[in-house]
Chains A and B, each alone.
Chain A
Amino acid sequence: MKMRKKSCTATLMFAALLFWGTHSLAQVPSGATPVTGTNAAAPSPTASPSPTPSPIVLGTPKQMPEIVEYFARSLAKNIKAAKVRGDAHPERAFQNASRELATMALAAAANPDKAKTINYEAQYTASLETSRTDKQIGSSARTTGSTSATDKPGIPYLLGLAIDHGAVTQNINGSTLTLSSSPYALIASIPGNGDTAETYNNYSDFTRVGVSASFDLQDQNDPLASVHRKQLSEWSVKFRILGDRSARSEAAHTLFQQLMLPALQNEANVLGSGVQLEFGGEDAANALQAFATGTAADIAAYVSSPNYSDGSAEDELTKRITDSVQHRIYANIASFALPPDQIDILSSFLTRFKTATDAVLSSSNTLDAAIKDLAQKATLTLGYFNERGSGTGSYSVAKLMFEKKPPHFTQIDFNASASAYHDPNPTLNQTTFRDATAALGFLQPFGKSPFLTDPNDKSRITVSFSGRYERLQENRHVPNKKADIAVANWKIEIPVGQGVSLPISITYANATELINEQDVRGNFGITFDLDKLRLLVAAK
């Protein structure tokens, strides 16, 4: 497939001259000078055409160029996905990229041997959220059903739900239902707000705050029936002290501007200049509009017809798009004639565009790595816990939770807390000061869970070991009780489904708060991380 350079007939020359006279194109180099609020790169409307070279009509490819076929199939997948998710206008997926496709089709006709394939953006997965190990979804270490000796500082974005059975620090067999969320989720759910960049910008401080409530389970067959005040065993408010490490943080935006924006802007400029070069003239613009409108109508008719089926949609849509390229662009190629110098520019478009898209991909990977590093920076959270536990009076706990993920080392969690009774009972040897604790945990992620079938779900099996020391003031000098309580906890958490994991732990304690006897017990639970579940469902 080589471009055929024809000598124009007098008639064609006349038509082309007319075309060129109205075709006020401007060759805009990639990375054109930035302007603010106006389009400095646009050609002057009053510029007089210079002596007009003879336009050249591109040769019609003998077969559909590989890159056009590839692009059309990709658009077909988008259209089908839009149809499957119930979009009212699946054809809009085509319309968005119709000018890009047409530019590629003509560039491929101008120089079919170059840049047969362009690697577009990688398919994203829900990997980062699903691989998070910093969130405390289950109940805190003090509740009757906890499976953990340390608490993690991360705050659920949407809603976490966990059921724990067992006890780490108390000699009670109990089950606990824990619900956790962030006030930001409530603000974003208000009609008119939505979880937009504007809302996040205005209310991102609320993502620093997490709230949770744990309920003693009465009926394990109907956990939510226990969600009432009488069964409330703990509520907490957490405040993230250190800054936002999320992908929407200011730090992440700065990384985007430094690592990504230049490449993205260049890609947009290369494409923009290419489309303008080829279709800026009146005839070409009209022919382009006819191609886009006609193809979109074909697609809309097909996806709403009884003939549509998900099984054959990709092939059918690809064929309709490439047929339209053939009939509306290649069969009408005279509408897109260009002067020789602009043909040269067009013929290098695919090469320049491929260079630009490659740079975008490379920058995107660099940015993703930087965002991952950002997420692994140290986290420090201050928590207030109101305990209404079994066997003791109500008390308040202030707790600092620190987490660090050093490179090539396990995740480290450290907690330090102190608690005070609201209404100490002297007959139980209680004073206002109740206890002080320190806990240290190490968490190591291992391979992907064998129970997960969704390739987007990167949840990994994690194993943690933690130790906790508690100085319980009221147990001093009391027979059969111990004031210095040490706990060692080994835990494995296995993802068993989308956003669902099964924590199992074994705990050794030199004593419990209630009795001076060594204790070894097993704990298990189930956690539902709706943040992960939402992302995985959306990724389908």
Chain B
Amino acid sequence: MEQIDTVSYKVIQGENVKLTVTAHTIDEEIAVSLDGGTVNPASVNPAIFNFQITKSNGAQFLVVDCHFKAADDANAFYQFSLEGSDGGGQFDASSVRKDDFIKRITYQFTLPKSK
């Protein structure tokens, strides 16, 4: 996996991707969707979501929807990191804060151009 920026990555078909969530001063309250399909956590504390790139071209999109309760710390935020099975290491994949207007991130995983 190759990082273009914190929310866009170059991937290859069949690559397994791991999203790790670090929730600061808050419980893990997130929902993850890949192209509209639910991705359930493989583990919690920290929450880890695994999924596979199945398309051969174009792009796939991962939506990470975060929730904050009124009672949660005003400093609360989620920090994300991504790692692909095809190498490249672990990438800082942005964050979502309680005071952000949009409490979601949409990641783009772009496949190589078709020949």
By a beta-carbon cutoff of 8 Å, the part of chain A in contact with chain B is 22-24, 26, 28-30, 32-46, 74-75, 77-78, 81, 89, 92-93, 95-100, 120-121, 123-129, 194-198, 200-202, 246-248, 252-253, 256, 260-261, 264-265, 267-276, 279-282, 284-286, 288-289, 292-293, 296, 360, 364, 367-368, 371-372, 375, 456, 534-536, 538-539
Contacts and interface: CB of A to CB of B under 8 A. Distances in A.
Residue among A89, A93, A371 with the most chain B CB within 10 A?
A: A93
27 contacts: A22-B57, A33-B38, A35-B38, A37-B39, A78-B100, A95-B5, A95-B7, A95-B94, A96-B104, A99-B61, A120-B102, A195-B24, A201-B45, A247-B27, A247-B71, A268-B38, A271-B65, A272-B36, A275-B61, A275-B106, A276-B35, A276-B61, A285-B58, A289-B110, A364-B67, A368-B71, A372-B71
A40 B102 contact: no
B50 A37 contact: yes
A421 B89 CA distance: 63
Contacts of B8: 95, 289, 292-293
Interface of B: 4-8, 13, 22-40, 42, 44-47, 49-52, 54-65, 67-75, 94-96, 98-106, 108, 110, 113-114
Contacts of B72: 124, 247-248
Nearest to B23: A197
Contacts of A129: 71, 73
A442 B31 CA distance: 42
Contact of B69 (A100, A247, A284): A247
Given A124-B98, A268-B104, A275-B106, A39 B69 contact: no
B89 to A, nearest CB: 19
A280 B36 CA distance: 12
Nearest to A127: B70
B24 A30 contact: no
B82 to A, nearest CB: 13
Q: Is the interface of A mostly helix, strand, loop or mixed?
A: helix
Contacts of B40: 34-37
A197 B33 contact: no
Given A37-B39, A197-B44, A271-B63, 6 more contacts: A30-B36, A43-B35, A43-B54, A96-B100, A125-B74, A272-B37
Contacts of A364: 67, 69
Contacts of A125: 70, 74
Nearest to B98: A124
A24 B63 contact: no
Q: Lowest 6 A-B CB distances belong to which pairs?
A: A41-B37, A273-B36, A28-B36, A285-B59, A272-B33, A99-B106
B54 A198 contact: no
Contact of B102 (A78, A270, A276): A78
Contact of A38 (B50, B55, B60, B96): B50
A538 B73 contact: yes
Contacts of A538: 73-75
Nearest to B96: A96
A135 B6 CA distance: 41
Contacts of A37: 39-40, 42, 49-51
B71 A371 contact: yes
A260 B27 CA distance: 13
Nearest to A372: B71
A268 B33 contact: yes
Contacts of B54: 39, 42-45
A347 to B, nearest CB: 17
A331 to B, nearest CB: 21
Contacts of B30: 264
A121 B60 CA distance: 26
Nearest to A40: B37
Contacts of A92: 6-7, 94-95
